[in-house]
Structure 1
Amino acid sequence: MSNAYSSILTLLNEQEQHLDVMLLLLHKELDAIRSRDVEALKNNTDEKIRILELVQAADQQLAALPELAEAKEQSWFQEHLSRLEEKLAQCKFQNQVNSQSVEQSQLVIERFKTELLQSRGRAGLTYTNKGKAAQVDKGPGIKA
């Protein structure tokens, strides 16, 4: 591999490291979702945004290199690209798992809320225009 390709290799290795960090962050995010740690979720989200910006910057740097077209035909480039695509697929899968986990948590919370409202008595229980259970506060009553 020539010296002209060293900058491409460096950027590809950077992207691989960024995707490794992203995968780790996604696993941490799932732990935070499970434990309902809002502060950890916020910090994790900020870090994920930072890593995505680094990946995007490396992409832009790669695209600007004049020797990229020639490097794409090289076997070492294809091997790196395959590894990056595999790691990206892992990140996408873990992100989907996290998303489903959040949705399930929201469903459990909504069901718990409905059960709480029902336990307070059916007299004041009604439903919103979106079909969600709500408690009607009739106030202290009418005083003459």
Structure 2
Amino acid sequence: MTTASNDIIALLDQQKQLLDELLLSLRQEIAALANRDIAALENILALKTTQLQQLQQNDALLAACADIAEQKQQAWFKQKVAELDAQLEECKRQNDINQQTLEQSQLTLARFKTELLASRGKSGLTYTSKGKPAVESKGKGIKA
């Protein structure tokens, strides 16, 4: 193997490591979502952003390699890329799970808010122009 091949292998190995770290971050994210740990979610979001930027930089470095077109024809390259694709699909699947979990959590909170507003006073429960429930707080002390 040539030096260029070794550089490409190093970049592909680095991509695998970054995808491993991203998958770990995604799994930590769902745990933080379950615990409703806002501080942890903010930290994980910053970490995920950095990891995605690093993946993008590595992709650019791979694309800029001099003999990448030639190396793409090699069996070892195809095997490594197939492994990376499988790992990327796992990251996407975990991200979809996280998104569904977050959406369900938001729906639960919205339903809880509506129930709280309704219990505060049925006569004052109204809806905003966007269809969100709200309690009209105008009392008898308001004079027109």
With normalisation by structure 1, the TM-score equals 0.95
Q: Over residues 27-62 of structure 1, what are the superposed CA-to-partner deviations in whole Å (9 max), with x where a residue is unaligned?
A: 000011111111000000000011111111111111
* Structure 1 position 67, deviation (Å): 1.1
Q: What is the identity percentage for the equivalent residue pairs of Structure 1 and Structure 2?
A: 48
* Distance (whole Å) between structure 2 residues aligned to residue 15 and residue 97 of structure 1: 23
Q: Distance in 2 between matches of 1:139 and 1:124?
A: 9
Q: Residues 77-96 of structure 1: matches in 2 within 5 Å?
A: 77-96=77-96
Alpha-carbon displacement from aligned partner over 1:55-81 (angstroms, at most 9, x marks no partner): 111111111111100000000000000
Is 2:69 aligned against 1:69? yes
Indicate the residue corresponding to 1:45 in structure 2: 45
Structure 2 unaligned spans of 5+: none
Structure 2 equivalent of residue 121 of structure 1: 121
What is the aligned partner in structure 2 of residue 139 from structure 1? 139
Who is 1:15 aligned against? 15
Please state whether the residue corresponding to 1:126 is helix, strand or coil.
strand
- Please tell me the root mean square deviation across aligned C-alpha atoms, in Å: 1.2
Other structure's SS at 1:139 match: coil
Unaligned segments of structure 1, at least 5 residues: none
Give the TM-score of the pair, scaled to structure 2: 0.95
8 Å Cα contact 2:25/2:48 also seen in 1: yes
Following TM superposition, by how much is the alpha carbon of 1:140 offset from its aligned partner in structure 2, in angstroms? 4.9
> 1:77-136: CA deviations, max 9, x gaps?
000000110111111111111111111000000000010111112110011112111100
Distance in structure 2 (CA, Å) of the matches to 1:60 and 1:140: 66
Task: Please tell me the residue identity of whatever aligns with 2:113.
Answer: K
Query: 1:29 corresponds to which residue?
Result: 29
Letter of the 1:114 partner, please give it: T
Deviation at 1:12, TM superposition (A): 0.2
